[in-house]
């Protein structure tokens, strides 16, 4: 497991805070998810209708871990800051690009990515840290480079995150995918990845 130093922004002061990006979700991270992330999410969801709950509130990272761990084609990431789990991501590396300019070439596909409940403006004002999503997308792009995929990544976006992928990450929207719960599919090309890395 490799630990990289990254920086998140404390929302209250706008100051950068040192954090760790780990390229493997361990049992310790899953215990942190279960011990603090889940209760915070449950507390927010209590009494709210399904439509008013975060779209990822039902994601069970422990169950997902059992599925991906034995498989070579999956990579997991965790961000830890001030001894708390701040974000989780699972990507796969055997899916193909759909954009015409890179059709059929392999991409790093973001299966799941989430920031901790206390980092979401809709759950906590002000949120604790900003920048988790950016670091995770950067990690997916870096993995893509390491695998020889030249920065190509793909993902299906939840509605609430579309603006982030389109405007902040500069990804291309390919429309809604009826084979994936009607979620919009986004892809990053080699050129877009270079721009994102700058």
Q: Decide whether 163 or 191 has the Cβ nearer to other proteins.
A: 191
Q: Decide whether 42 or 60 has the Cβ nearer to other proteins.
A: 60
Tell me how far, at minimum, the Cβ of 95 lies from other proteins, in Å. Answer: 9
Tell me how far, at minimum, the Cβ of 180 lies from other proteins, in Å. Answer: 13
Contact criterion met (CB below 8 Å) for 22 and 80 = yes
Q: Decide whether 147 or 183 has the Cβ nearer to other proteins.
A: 147
Among candidates 112, 138, 111, which has minimal Cα distance to 195?
Answer: 138
Site residues for other proteins per CB under 8 A: 1-2, 23-24, 70-75, 92-94, 104-106, 143, 146-150, 179
How many helices (H) and strands (E) would you count in the chain? 6, 9
Distances (CA, A) of 75 to 68, 78, 123, 125, 129: 8, 11, 28, 32, 24
Q: Decide whether 2 or 181 has the Cβ nearer to other proteins.
A: 2
Among candidates 23, 43, 40, which has minimal Cα distance to 32?
Answer: 40
Report the DSSP pairing between strands 3-10 and 172-177.
Answer: unpaired
Tell me how far, at minimum, the Cβ of 177 lies from other proteins, in Å. Answer: 12
Tell me how far, at minimum, the Cβ of 11 lies from other proteins, in Å. Answer: 30
């Amino acid at each position: 497991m490799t630990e990289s130093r990254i920086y998140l922004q404390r929302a209250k002061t706008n100051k950068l805070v040192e954090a760790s990006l780990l390229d493997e979700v361990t049992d310790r991270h899953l215990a942190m998810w279960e011990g603090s992330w889940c209760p915070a999410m449950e507390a927010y969801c209590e009494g709210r209708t399904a439509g008013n709950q975060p779209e990822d509130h039902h994601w069970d990272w422990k169950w997902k871990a059992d599925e991906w761990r034995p498989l070579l084609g999956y990579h997991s990431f965790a961000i830890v800051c001030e001894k708390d789990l701040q974000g989780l991501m699972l990507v796969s590396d055997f899916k193909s690009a759909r954009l015409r300019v890179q059709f059929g070439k392999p991409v790093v596909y973001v299966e799941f990515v989430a920031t901790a409940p206390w980092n979401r403006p809709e759950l906590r004002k002000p949120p604790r840290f900003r920048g988790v999503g950016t670091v995770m997308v950067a990690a997916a792009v870096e993995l893509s480079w390491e695998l020889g995929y030249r920065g190509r990544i793909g993902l299906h976006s939840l509605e609430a995150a579309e603006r982030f992928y389109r405007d902040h990450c500069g990804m291309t929207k390919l429309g809604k995918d009826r084979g994936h719960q009607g979620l919009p599919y986004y892809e990053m090309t080699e050129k877009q990845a270079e721009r994102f890395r700058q």
